[in-house]
Amino acid sequence: MLTWSDIIEFTLRGNPEPDNRLVKTDVEWKAQLSHDQYRITRGKNTEMAGTGAFCHSFESGTYHCVCCDTPLFDSSIKYESRSGWPSFTQPVKANAIKYEKDSSYGMVRVEISCNVCDAHLGHVFPDGPPPSGLRYCVNSASIKMVTNGNSKS
């Protein structure tokens, strides 16, 4: 189980190696993604609080990266954080997520991205529930739900 100390270590010393890498051109990403998906995943933007498709959804399944289909989070560790974004306590694998210090907007946070394709997902905070104490705050536009082999964005 990852802890806040692990997250800080990743930002300081480097992230775990992903299982594979996917690199596409900007033109290829624009052709594949909707305007909002592109704006958020490739442009590192965010959706307005409470507007994402998965904010209040607790359907059983796995959340995958909308860009490369990498499994990121399981619905069993999703919880209602009242933050306005889907929140999770752990990724499905330690190497699924990439962590980087984000000093934008006059604050210091830890940005989370897909470790396979570098899609911006959101941020992780140390104010989640036990036992990990982590809150992965994720943009709905950066993920898709996969249930029984069927995906839903």
Question: pLDDT for 50-79, tens place per residue?
Answer: 999 999 888 899 999 999 999 999 999 999
For residue 89, is pLDDT > 80? yes
Active site residue 114: no
Q: One of 65, 68, 114, 137 is an active-site residue; which one?
A: 137
Q: Which tokens in the block code for residue 52?
A: 């994402």
pLDDT of residue 21: 97
Beta carbons of 12 and 110 less than 8 angstroms apart: no
Ranges of H-type helices in the chain: 4-13, 26-32, 35-41
Alpha carbon 39 to its chain's center: 15
Locus of tokens 């998906």: 37
pLDDT at 110: 96
pLDDT of residue 149: 65
Q: Which residues contact 80 (CB under 8 A, 6 or more apart)?
A: 56, 87
What is the average pLDDT value for the chain, to the nearest integer?
94
CATH number given to 4-152: 2.170.150.20
Distance CA 153, CA 144 (A): 4
Q: What is the per-residue pLDDT across 118-127, written as a single tens digit (0 to 9) for each?
A: 999 999 999 9
Tell me: pLDDT of 93 over 80: yes
